[in-house]
């Protein structure tokens, strides 16, 4: 899987939450969009919904059940709770490639 495709899957999952138009296509494509952390527009319930939707999309893409575990994301620093779309995209690529 390529980074562009991983970002497309992230964008599609975010679009399911975008009832208040917090995300636009341009924002999602930007790799520095914060998905988890103080500056994220998602609350904890929305983040869980986002991850659940994204896992489903990744599993369909990979034709295999795959799960996102935040603690397993290499570039995610637990002391600085900011998970960006770029960091998540890289993790998705690794997850799919290793499956």
24-46 pLDDT, tens digit each: 555 545 677 889 988 888 899 99
Q: What is the pLDDT of residues 83-92, one digit of tens each?
A: 999 999 999 9
> Could you count the other beta carbons within 10 Å of the beta carbon of residue 2?
9
State the pLDDT at residue 28: 47
**Domain count within the chain:** 1
State the pLDDT at residue 72: 87
Long-range contacts of 50-57 (CB under 8 A, 24+ apart): 50/13, 50/14, 50/16, 50/17, 53/13, 53/16, 54/9, 54/10, 54/13, 54/92, 57/9, 57/12, 57/13
68 contacts 10 by C-beta, under 8 angstroms: no
Structural domain harbouring 59:
3-98
Q: What is the pLDDT of residues 33-79, one digit of tens each?
A: 889 988 888 899 999 999 999 999 999 999 999 999 988 887 776 67
State the pLDDT at residue 27: 52
pLDDT at position 21 over 70:
no
Alpha carbons within 13 A on the beta-carbon side of 32:
1
State the pLDDT at residue 74: 78
The neighbouring-strand residues paired with 84 are: 34
| CATH number for the domain harbouring residue 51 | 1.10.1200
């Amino acid at each position: 899987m390529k980074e562009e495709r991983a970002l497309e899957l992230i964008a599609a999952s975010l679009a399911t939450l975008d009832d208040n138009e917090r995300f636009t296509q341009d924002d999602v494509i930007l790799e520095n969009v914060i998905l988890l952390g103080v500056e994220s527009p998602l609350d904890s319930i929305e983040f869980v919904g986002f991850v659940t939707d994204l896992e489903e999309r990744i599993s369909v893409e990979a034709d295999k059940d795959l799960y996102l575990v935040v603690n397993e994301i290499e570039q995610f620093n637990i002391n600085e709770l900011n998970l960006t779309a770029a960091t998540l995209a890289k993790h998705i690529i690794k997850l799919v490639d290793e499956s």
